[in-house]
Amino acid sequence: MVSTVVDRRELDIIEKDVPLSGFTTWNVGGPARYFCQPESLDQLQKAIVFADEFDLDTIFLGNGSNLLVSDEGFDGLAVRLGPGFGDLENDGDRIRASAGTPLYKLADVSNKAGSSCFNFLTGIPGTVGGGLVMNAGAFGSEISDYLTEFSYLDPSGDVHEVSRKDVRFNYRSSPFQGCPDKIVLEAEFKLERGESQPDMSEILEQRREKFPYSKPSAGSVFKNPTEVDMTAGQLLDEVGAKGFSVGNAAVSHQHANFILNKGHATAKNIQKAIDILRDRVYKEFGVTLVTEIVVI
């Protein structure tokens, strides 16, 4: 149990007024009132208790690949886990990965252990923690399919161990979404050796052919709807989204569900484009698209 009183002067890792644009793949976002990049559980616990003591909202950036941070910034504590949270251990048919482990590393180590079950994560620019929060997936698989247990940190600094069977994951959603008081620390996964997924290099090539990577983006902006037999990209394509722009925020000509930063786009530009595109799809198809990205 961490002390319930933390003096910010004791937390040398906490900085003030740090621009978040450098920590998001869209390259937009104003400053965070407080920012820290802890390298250990102890540092993270102290930072979280600090935020709780001073009633600060907290966000976890991960690789910033699914975040739209406002131009005004974030009036709370922004946390980006340091390399100390990137450990990964393979123990036979199990892999334990810290929250900051890149998803590609999980796929790579699994391959070297003789399992291709995580190959679908190839090319997804996120971390294990962020992947669990969003229940990252592709090609019909999701990261939660292989989850056996995980641990999380609460606002008091206490660590909790939870079994996969006690929680429910859905398409691109998890119990952690909208629940900032549960911070993923580590996860254990089972390795399925009977599966046969395409090689990582093949999947990466497919992604390069299908998705635009030449300009900053946050990947797919909208989730695929369940009420119609069309993907979000197909719906957007039908309403003429490709090439649509607001300022320097432009929809890719390659994939209609990608909004690119073509140079100096602002979060306001991107948000306005999202709102207009959602409205177009609703008027044409009666479908309300839900964002896959998280707006801060």
Q: Domain 213-295, what fold? A: 3.90.78
Please state at what angle helix 103-112 crosses helix 200-210, rounded to 10 degrees.
Answer: 150
Where do the CATH 3.30.43.10 domains begin and end in the chain? 8-83
Mean pLDDT score of the chain, rounded to an integer? 89
Structure tokens at 32: 């965070």
Structure tokens at 234: 């197909």
Contacts of residue 232, Cβ cutoff 8 Å, sequence gap at least 6: 220, 221, 222, 223, 224, 225, 257, 289
Counting residues of the chain whose pLDDT is more than 90, the rounded percentage is 58
pLDDT band at 180 (very low <50, low <70, confident <90, very high): low
User: What confidence score (pLDDT) does residue 6 get?
Assistant: 47
Whether the Cβ atoms of residue 282 and residue 290 lie closer than 8 Å to each other: no
User: What confidence score (pLDDT) does residue 4 get?
Assistant: 41
Could you say which of 142, 186, 188, 292 is catalytic?
292
User: What confidence score (pLDDT) does residue 174 get?
Assistant: 84
- pTM here is 0.84
Whether the Cβ atoms of residue 252 and residue 212 lie closer than 8 Å to each other: yes
Whether the Cβ atoms of residue 100 and residue 81 lie closer than 8 Å to each other: yes
User: What confidence score (pLDDT) does residue 5 get?
Assistant: 44
Each residue's pLDDT tens digit, 26-60: 999 999 999 999 999 999 999 988 998 899 999 98
pLDDT band at 2 (very low <50, low <70, confident <90, very high): very low
Q: How many residues does the chain have?
A: 296
User: What confidence score (pLDDT) does residue 211 get?
Assistant: 78
Helix (H, G, I), strand (E, B) or coil at 235: helix
* Average confidence (pLDDT) over 105-124: 89
Each residue's pLDDT tens digit, 227-238: 899 999 999 999
Where do the CATH 3.30.465.10 domains begin and end in the chain? 86-190
Q: What is the Cβ-side half-sphere exposure of residue 118, based on CA atoms within 13 angstroms?
A: 29
Could you say which of 172, 173, 195, 205 is catalytic?
172
Whether pLDDT at 255 is above 50: yes
CATH class of 8-83: alpha beta
Q: Domain 86-190, what fold? A: 3.30.465
Q: Any catalytic annotation for residue 172?
A: yes
Could you say which of 188, 220, 278, 280 is catalytic?
220
User: What confidence score (pLDDT) does residue 11 get?
Assistant: 66
Whether pLDDT at 1 is above 70: no
* Average confidence (pLDDT) over 56-76: 92
Where do the CATH 3.90.78.10 domains begin and end in the chain? 213-295
Whether pLDDT at 10 is above 80: no
Closest CA to 219 of 254, 174, 177: 254
User: What confidence score (pLDDT) does residue 154 get?
Assistant: 85
